[in-house]
Amino acid sequence: MKPVDYDGRQHTVYATGRALPGETARTWAEAFSARAPAHRPLTVLDLGSGTGRFTPLLAGTFGGQVYGVEPSSRMREQAAAHPAVRYLEGRAEAVPLPDSSCDLALLFLSLHHFTAPPAAAAEIRRVLRPGGRVLIRSAFSDRMPDLLWHRYFPSARGVEERIFPSLPAVLELFAAAGLEFVALDRIRELSAPSLAAYAERLKLRAISTFEHLPEAEIERGLAALESDAAAERVPRPVHLDSDLLTFAVRGPR
């Protein structure tokens, strides 16, 4: 499937369309903290940092230097500034950091964009210190959750089942790179405070899967979603179930 060009349209909508509600930011900060190394501060790699929606949060949560590595120059241009954050041009297969320089690596919806997964896993292992952890927020083709937006765009689920790797494949990939499985957590996060707010976000098409959907289906789905949102009398929050997979560098710190 053709790679998404984030220097094309996505960089213009991503920061707004994928902004984190405060409750959601707190949910992820707690989830990351529960699986990160216990000592503080931590030096963190945010691999595939995009517009930096998590990068400053990681600095505030772990108290150390955070490196946001992102191949798209236009996504980096939109990234949120923070005194403890440096954004670097790079990609998963060539991380511009020294060996054993990080305590934690976050891959938040970036794993499926890797062009050479074994090389990327080896790079992540290379930059981690003994006792370091890898946190991977990803969908997996063999355990796709029931997502509300898939009901409006019916071919999206099939697209994502082709885009995202299976859980066994990811476990095997990182084991081969010298990382051991720690945990697989299901995280329930707030996506939007109401169906109307959810519709406004989806209208921006900031989910990269939209790049693979037929335009006619997108238009039909948005129209149906907006109709349902207009009929909503009592706003109800929209939640999303997400997988967080943790690996650790083998051996004690």
Residue 252: the pLDDT is: 47
pLDDT at 68 over 80: yes
Q: Residue 8 pLDDT > 90, yes or no?
A: no
Grade residue 42 by pLDDT with cuts at 50, 70 and 90. very high
Q: Is the pLDDT of residue 41 over 70?
A: yes
Query: What is d(CA 107, CA 120) in angstroms, rounded to the nearest whole number?
Result: 11
Mean of the per-residue pLDDT values of the chain: 95
Predicted confidence at residue 238, as pLDDT, reads 97
Give me the pLDDT at residue 253, please.
44
What is the pLDDT averaged over residues 193-203?
A: 97
pLDDT of res. 11: 85
**Cα–Cα distance, 47 to 90 (Å, whole number):** 9
